[in-house]
Amino acid sequence: MDEIEGTTCRKYMTISAWPHGLEPDDEAFQDEDGYCIGTGVWSEISDSERPIDVRILAGTDQDEAVTMLRKIADWLEQHGHRFSDSEGGDAVDEAQD
């Protein structure tokens, strides 16, 4: 990884979830309950040691947020190993299958 003045370029996998009623985009799939889950990979210059960063849009219904976080956890249990094994590429591509 590249280093710039004490920081490191880190590769992250992004996982987004949104409730039924909103259409999936080209980077997402819809589960059996109608929720959409999308994945991606991005790099960021950072000095953070935090391996996980969760963002929830302000005003999101608590029950919906909990449901979507559980769906993300289910996805990670089924597909997350692909990110660790391949540094991201296969997890994103194969999750769409």
Would the pLDDT of 92 be above 50?
A: no
Give the pLDDT confidence of 36-75 residue by residue, as tens digits.
888 888 888 877 777 777 888 899 999 999 999 999 999 8
What mean pLDDT comes out for the span 10-17? 83
Higher-confidence position of 90 and 54: 54
Prediction pTM value = 0.68
Work out the angle at residue 79's Cα, subtended by the Cα atoms of residues 31 and 76, and round it to the nearest 5 degrees. 80
The better pLDDT of the pair 62, 28 is held by 62
pLDDT exceeds cutoff 70 at 85:
no
DSSP 14-60: EEEEE-TTS---TTEEE-TTS-EEEEEEEEEEE----S------TT-
Question: Which residues, at least 6 apart from 14, have a Cβ–Cβ distance to it below 8 Å?
Answer: 38, 39, 40, 41, 42
Q: What is the pLDDT of residue 40?
A: 82
